[in-house]
Structure 1
């Protein structure tokens, strides 16, 4: 049968109307389906772990002689070379001292050389114009990984003896972070399961299969900075380095179906 143009438009409209009616019928059927009864709980877990390693950052620097600053103050190549030589010698001596203190060479990272101008404002008398002086600072950072915390006091003594210019602090950490975060997450899930079972048994229902699992917050791991006793801070006794404990938090949200 051959359709004339008018008939084609009528047929297309009928098909479209049928599609819309069918979609509406499906939506009505879905809305009339009973909603799955569920119990949903949230749980938090916190574990504390004793650190078993530490990271330490120190810096060495050397400076060229201070000179008056002008618009185009040239750098003295010989002064820069002398400062760099002194810095490299001190860095090498520091590494040797640390190795003698029991630190393995693979645990010592000597960073790259940085060079920057260092401006100094000289005090002036009342009637004198202000004057800015400039010098060049050459710096090397040194990072240490300490796997044996009992060696920490000796290593800090070695750094002091080597004359480091800055000690940026000690951060305590865990060698196996994944194991600690897995433990916190497991405990959070176990707490959620216990809460759901308690609620179900109290209300006289039975838990079905798990419908949904979600982390409300991923395990939070924060390394701990070094702490010292109050007596040591006041200079009343030998410094005591206390690692304390590292706290890891985890949270989950879990939903179970309620059996009919």
Structure 2
């Protein structure tokens, strides 16, 4: 398998757009396997894929590479390398540059969701204007999946107090609260968890959430949960 991966990485670095896309697509699929993911990392695949995020020759190349990195980001060591190669900042740029492309935004927000569990990544997202970018994904999301990924990422990123301050000052909380009304159960689940995390960060944040009608929306969600089979975790987040 190592020789196959080496050949695939070589194709990504040069050749026609179609051949490069095919090679990146192969890594996209292979990266879902734990052992192969480690091989890809050991052979320098993460640096190659992160480099593709800056490729301007065809918008499909950074989109496909971001999808591969989404799968690579399921591993601790891979997450660290993606961060060290500057992947976090480039994914946020990809969201802005290809915002009208739903798949690109879904891949990028999904990867950020996987990456956002450590303090270093949270700081990087904050410094790269991630609060504003992810808030835009909530307010004007090109798809429900991108909204779901974004609110899940914010739920982890908000443990960085400065990031949360940016959310509050940028009027992002209203868009988070609005996600409680999503027709998608998983989005509602992640949103209730996000609000719970935000509510324990500071008194100012709780007050800002209240001003955005958070309590009323949570009560409304609880009332609706009596009529539908709502996820118990969502209900639990509402009442804690």
Measured against the shorter chain, the TM-score band is: under 0.3
Q: By percentage of residues, which structure has more strand?
A: 1
Which structure has the higher relative contact order (CA within 8 Å, separation 6+)?
1
**Superposition TM-score, scaled by structure 1 size:** 0.21
